[in-house]
Structure 1
Amino acid sequence: MSFTTSTQMKKHSMIHTGEKPYPCWQCGRSFRRKETRDTHVRYHTGERPYSCSICTKKYIAASHLREHMKTHGDDRKFDCAICLKKIL
């Protein structure tokens, strides 16, 4: 695998070295990426900056909101053959 910048290479190499330079100041858990640590810290602080425009639910990460938004759509992919409930 090749990288276009030395920064990309350094970030990638942390996978192999196990280096996690971004600790959570609340619980001590460490992370490879600062952004991942910052999202984790929201579990401790209760901050939920991503809110659904349809209902009142709020989330700590944009990816959680994106997954939630699927519940408002008609694109349910799996039906239970027993009770006919549709699940994402």
Structure 2
Amino acid sequence: RPYACSHCEKTFRKRSHLMRHQQVLHDGERPYKCPDCGKTFNDFSNLVSHHRIHKGERPYECPECGECFTQNSSLSRHRR
């Protein structure tokens, strides 16, 4: 991995990945915008997860009680 971040020493195989990392994590760029409410995110997967709130999607179901969640992490926390 020849490309290292000067801020945190994380390494990347491609220069474009390093540049994206620096823009999002170190420069505060938030290029992904929710079309419903305008909230912005630094990562596309966070936008997808957030958008489930607007669409009413709750794809993570507890096998024990049937309660559903928008995020897998919320289901994991519930099951503890």
Aligned residues: 70
Q: Deviations 1:14-72 (Å, cap 9, x if unpaired)?
A: 122111111001001110111000000111111000000000200001111111111xx
Q: Percent identity?
A: 33
Distance 2:20 2:64 in 1: 37
Q: Which runs of 5+ in 2 are unaligned?
A: 1-8
TM-score, normalised by the number of residues in structure 1: 0.71
Which has the higher mean CA deviation after the structures are superposed, 13-22 or 26-35?
13-22
Which has the higher mean CA deviation after the structures are superposed, 43-52 or 7-16?
7-16
Q: Which runs of 5+ in 1 are unaligned?
A: 71-88
The correspondence of residues 1-88 of structure 1 with structure 2, limited to 5 A, is 1-6=9-14, 7-13=16-22, 14-70=24-80
Secondary structure of 1:65's match?
helix
TM-score, normalised by the number of residues in structure 2: 0.78
Q: Which has more radius of gyration? A: 1
RMSD across aligned positions (CA)? 1.4
